[in-house]
Amino acid sequence: MTSLDWPIGVRFVDLAAGLEAITGIERYLRIRVFASHGRRLLGSADIWTYGAPAISVERLRDVLALRFGFSLLEQHLRARWGPDREQARLSPTLVSIVLPSCDREDDLRRCLVSLVAQQTRHRLEIIVVDNRPSTRTARRVAQEFAGVVVVDERRPGLSYARNAGILHARGEIVVATDDDVVAPTHWIETLLEPFVEPQVSAVTGHVLPLELETQAQCRFESYGGLGKGFDRVEFGSGWFHHRRSAVPTWLIGATANAAFRAAIFRVPGIGLMDEALGAGTPTGCSEDTYAFYRILKTGGTIVYSPDAYVWHRHRASMRDVRRQIYAYSKGHVAYHLTTLLRDADRRALVRLAYSLPKTYAGRALARLRRQSDYPLASLLVEIAGNCAGPFALWRSRRRVRKLGVSVPVRNHAVSLESPIAQGPPR
């Protein structure tokens, strides 16, 4: 990545509201424009400006028409001549938003501002889980917002914090997000729409970069970021069982932007987040991908809905990004070992012994042939993380045995077919 590749200005336009010139962009060589039409997220387009002070309405219109014209035409035709039927809507219900935080005052305040501004028919319960209660930072910030509940979780780790919030949640839907996220006002309403279908157990949404100001933020976004594209996808038991290699649940999304039927956390075979996985543990991540795995294995359906997007503030320093990539790499191997050892899923061996080494060999070869600009240093960080994965998982399991496992209240067992798992009646 050269100095010409960053910073990248990030701007958002709603085509339904009309276009205005984009100004104040002198310090950027290019602008990444994310476009929507109302609540529908269309995609993004990069516009090179080379330090120009503005992008005119005419140029913006030309770029967006070329990029999204067909999508807008399709949407118009479907609305004008498509089936004339009222779309089913989820009945208003209580929704619990679980928000873990660990000493990030400014990020938490920014996130809470966006959460209390949600425009939704549903009743919201916002639960901030303070994962470092000794500093009282999260409690102090949460007190600035009326009605926000604070739960202390002294055991370090995102999974412990997430589970503490889930156990205190009263809603029929539990929404997971992070304190470095900012949500648009329609987020909750859009994220919950797929739950109108009773077979849907969880929904994930897109995660867009809030800013791309530093080399590290741009590098992380080019690495893949946290978003999973602009196309709606439904993942079910067929997708899960018919794969020959390991189930790539990392393609589904992340708990930075996800919603679950609360009842599934009491379903045998699913349960709470695996507390040996995730940020703040030796494994570094993958508590969400393993949760998705268990939902699909048990017969549930997960919908990826890109229109339910949030904005995420990526790490600003290269040191932090390298640590993040190293953690992701450890957690990736830990996830596969968990499915192998706990679920007896031998497809994990295909990933660990064949496709993962093949991927790295291909990347290294492409870099040596100058067909890719992906740094060899980053590739070595990933490989080192993969190699550390087995030991990290062993350390995490020992850690959980020492700190204890969170256990859901089990008044009675439920299944994905039971009425409580299907949400409120329509």
Residues forming a β-bridge with 210: none
* CA-to-CA separations, 335 to 248, 339, 402, in angstroms, rounded: 10, 6, 21
Q: Where are the domains positioned within the chain?
A: 3-81, 94-319+405-422, 325-403
Residue 407 is predicted with a pLDDT of 85
DSSP bridge pairs for 55: 22
Res 222: pLDDT? 86
Confidence of residue 423 (pLDDT cuts 50, 70, 90): very low
Using DSSP, state whether 177 is helix, strand or coil. Answer: strand
Over the stretch 112-160, which tens digit does the pLDDT of each residue have?
Answer: 999 999 999 999 999 999 999 999 999 999 999 999 999 999 999 999 9
Is 50 buried (19+), middle (13-18) or exposed (0-12) by CB count in 10 A? exposed
Cα within 13 Å of Cα(388), Cβ side: 19
Residue 130 backbone class (left: φ over 0; alpha: ψ -120 to 50; beta: rest): beta
- Give me the chain's average pLDDT, please: 90
Residue 102 has pLDDT above 50, yes or no: yes
Q: Are 10 and 30 in contact (CB under 8 A)?
A: no
Instruction: Determine contact, residues 45/24, Cβ cutoff 8 Å.
Output: no
Question: Quick count: other Cβ atoms within 10 Å of Cβ 46?
Answer: 12
CA 402, CA 306: separation in Å to the nearest integer? 39
16 token code pair:
């339904």
> What percentage of the chain exceeds 90 in pLDDT?
80
Q: Can you name the CATH fold of 94-319+405-422?
A: Spore Coat Polysaccharide Biosynthesis Protein SpsA; Chain A (3.90.550)
Question: What span, in angstroms and rounded, lies between the C-alpha atoms of 296 and 153?
Answer: 29
Angle at 171 between CA 168 and CA 176, to 5 degrees: 75
pLDDT surpasses 70 at 233? yes
Could you write out the three-class secondary structure of 24-76? Answer: CCCCCCEEEEEEEECCEEEEEEEEECCCCCEECHHHHHHHHHHHHHHHHHHHH
pLDDT band at 369 (very low <50, low <70, confident <90, very high): confident
Q: Per residue in 53-62, pLDDT tens?
A: 999 999 999 9
Cα–Cα distances in angstroms (integers) from residue 3 to residues 221, 225, 378, in the given order: 16, 20, 18
120 vs 45: CA distance, rounded Å: 30
Residue 82 has pLDDT above 90, yes or no: no
pLDDT at 228: 94
